[in-house]
Amino acid sequence: MKDKREVHASVKDERLVEKRRDQMIKGAVSLFKQKGFHRTTTREIAKAAGFSIGTLYEYIRTKEDVLYLVCDRIYEQVRLELEELDVGEGTMESLKLGIVHYFQVMDRMQDEVLVMYQEAKSLSKDALPYVLKKEMEMVGMVEGLIQSCVDRGRLDLDSERIHLLAQNVFVQGQMWGFRRWALQKRFSLEDYMNLQIDLLFAGVIGYETHGRTGGVI
């Protein structure tokens, strides 16, 4: 599978395409946040992007293309932000820091993640796999962090547990955004992170060793 699903643009100048799509995506994200994909019209997207409806369609083929570009962009952003996560040294501390970092990114991008979360199902059968693949890559990054702790003997987990743990962490990051109505009333981000890491690692490294007193950050 190719890494990106090409979205057709009539305009040839690649720089311009990039620029216009930036505008478009920025506008669309903000609209999708407010009203969701279905309730947003292409005209609104064009207007929010700062150009005419005709111009919008020079850079996409269908409305769904906008959704795909939005999802793609969000993943890309999240991934860029998480890139450093890759270089975990395999210590528990670096793992925790990685997770904290991930949670912080998810906090900062919670609107975007929410959008993607709720609208991804509107992607065509054609585009969905690309987005899911991206998501798996991100889970893979978390998995990598954990794996390196296992490799260095800091954790004792089989591959299935590693994978599921990664998925749990990943979802807990998203959760902070999509269950904000329940969580953000009750916890500050810091508290949330500390508690989640605590619950997570208490399980992994064993009950007696985990000091509940000090936070990670």
Partner DNA sequence: AATGAATGAGCATTCATTCAT
Partner DNA sequence: CATGAATGAATGCTCATTCAT
- Choices 54-62, 128-136, 195-203, 206-214; region in contact with DNA by CB under 7 A: 54-62
Is residue 97 a contact residue for a second copy (CB under 8 A)? yes
Q: Which does 100 bind (CB under 5 to 8 A by kind): a second copy, DNA, none?
A: a second copy
Is residue 53 a contact residue for a second copy (CB under 8 A)? no
The angle formed by the CA atoms of residues 97, 74 and 47, to the nearest 5 degrees, is 145
Q: What are 179's two structure tokens?
A: 């269950």
3-state helix/strand/coil string of the chain: CCCCCCCCCCCCCHHHHHHHHHHHHHHHHHHHHHHHHHHCCHHHHHHHHCCCHHHHHHHCCCHHHHHHHHHHHHHHHHHHHHHHHHHCCCCHHHHHHHHHHHHHHHHHCHHHHHHHHHHHHHCCCCCHHHHHHHHHHHHHHHHHHHHHHHHCCCCCCCHHHHHHHHHHHHHHHHHHHHCHHHHCCCCCHHHHHHHHHHHHHHHHHCCCCCCCCCCCC
- Choices 16-24, 70-78, 141-149, 165-173; region in contact with a second copy by CB under 8 A: 165-173
Is residue 21 a contact residue for DNA (CB under 7 A)? no
- Phi-psi bin for 8: left (phi > 0), alpha (psi -120 to 50), beta? beta
**Other residues' Cβ atoms within 10 Å of the Cβ of residue 119:** 17
Is residue 41 a contact residue for DNA (CB under 7 A)? yes
Nearer to DNA, 61 or 133 (CB): 61
Least Cβ distance, residue 42 to DNA (angstroms)? 4
Nearer to a second copy, 15 or 186 (CB): 186
Applying CB under 7 A, which of residues 26, 33, 55, 135 lies at the interface with DNA? 55
Place of tokens 């997770």: 99
Is residue 42 a contact residue for a second copy (CB under 8 A)? no
Q: Which does 23 bind (CB under 5 to 8 A by kind): a second copy, DNA, none?
A: none
Applying CB under 8 A, which of residues 8, 15, 125, 212 lies at the interface with a second copy? 212
Nearer to DNA, 40 or 110 (CB): 40
Place of tokens 């906008």: 66
Binding site for DNA (CB under 7 A): 10-13, 16, 20, 39-43, 51-55, 57-58, 61-64
Binding site for a second copy (CB under 8 A): 36, 38-39, 96-97, 100, 118, 121-122, 132, 135-136, 139, 160-161, 163-165, 167-168, 171-172, 175, 179, 181-183, 186-187, 190-210, 212, 215-217
